[in-house]
Amino acid sequence: MTARTLIAGVGNIFLGDDAFGVEVVRRLADRPLPDGVRAEDFGIRGVHLAYELLDGYDALVMIDATPRGGMPGTLYMIEVGPEDVSAPDPNGPGPLMDAHDLTPDTVFALLTSLGGRVGTIHVVGCEPECVEERMGLSEPVSNAVEDAARMVWELVTSKEPKGHS
């Protein structure tokens, strides 16, 4: 992976499995990161993440609950290319954003509207079982946290992540 990388754990700890990204970043906190790699829990602070990316990162690894129709606990490695990040309409009102909105599309739209960009974007996602008001991850999502931390570690240390779709 490239020299300056941000690992961003995102999600709402009060919505069950939505806290997946936050939990993975906590797990990564126990490991020394390579030079140029920084991990942070952004929680529901999407605006903060967009502004942090303006500092100039070569790569972003975003960790989040990602419903894609699989079995709860299924991990996904999704590469987001520049063609997947839509530029805001220059004649439009700009991205509509709640201060706590952290959908990747909204964060990337805000970043683009501010003149920023990130070279490489990967999303390490996990299929949630329950995203309702409650504390704590469901069993299948909790069981996926260590595997996701390993996927992120392999990604930022330039090893090919193994065994996930």
CATH of residue 44's domain is 3.40.50.1450
Please determine, for residue 165, whether its predicted confidence score (pLDDT) is greater than 50: no
**Percentage of residues in the chain having pLDDT higher than 70:** 81
Tell me what the mean pLDDT of segment 9-19 comes to.
93
Is 162 within the bounds of a domain? no
CB atoms within 10 A of CB 161: 17
Q: The tokens of 130 are what?
A: 């329950």
In the chain, the amino acid numbered 97 is: M
Judged by DSSP in three states, 97 sits in coil
Q: Contact, 27 vs 59, CB < 8 A?
A: no
* Mean per-residue pLDDT, 21-33: 92
HSE of 80, CA atoms in CB hemisphere, 13 A? 20
Domain that holds residue 87: 5-156
Indicate the range of 75-84, 94-103, 137-146, 154-163 predicted with least confidence: 94-103
Most confidently modeled of 82-86, 98-102, 151-155?
Answer: 151-155
**Is residue 100 situated within a structural domain?**
yes
Q: Is residue 150 part of a domain?
A: yes
Confidence grade of residue 101 (pLDDT, cut at 50, 70, 90):
low
Residue 165 placed within a domain = no
Which has more pLDDT, 78 or 93?
78
What pLDDT, on a 0 to 100 scale, did the predictor assign at position 97?
A: 45
Residue 99 lies in a domain: yes
Mean pLDDT for the stretch of residues 133-149: 96
Is 82 among the domain residues? yes
CA distance 46 to 49: 5
The average pLDDT across 60-78 equals 94
Residue 163: the pLDDT is: 46
* Residue 163, domain member (yes or no): no
Residue 39 in any domain: the answer is: yes
Confidence of residue 85 (pLDDT cuts 50, 70, 90): low
Please return the burial class of 148, using the count of CB atoms within 10 Å of its CB with bins 0-12, 13-18 and 19+: buried
Q: Does 158 or 18 have the greater pLDDT score?
A: 18
Instruction: Report yes or no on whether pTM surpasses 0.95.
Output: no
The number of domains in the chain is 1
Q: What pLDDT sits at residue 48?
A: 85
Residues 6 or more apart whose Cβ sits within 8 Å of residue 71 = 127, 140
Record the tokens describing residue 162, joined without a space: 């193994």
Confirm if 80 and 123 have CB atoms less than 8 A apart.
yes
The rounded distance, in Å, linking the Cα atoms of 95 and 154 is 34
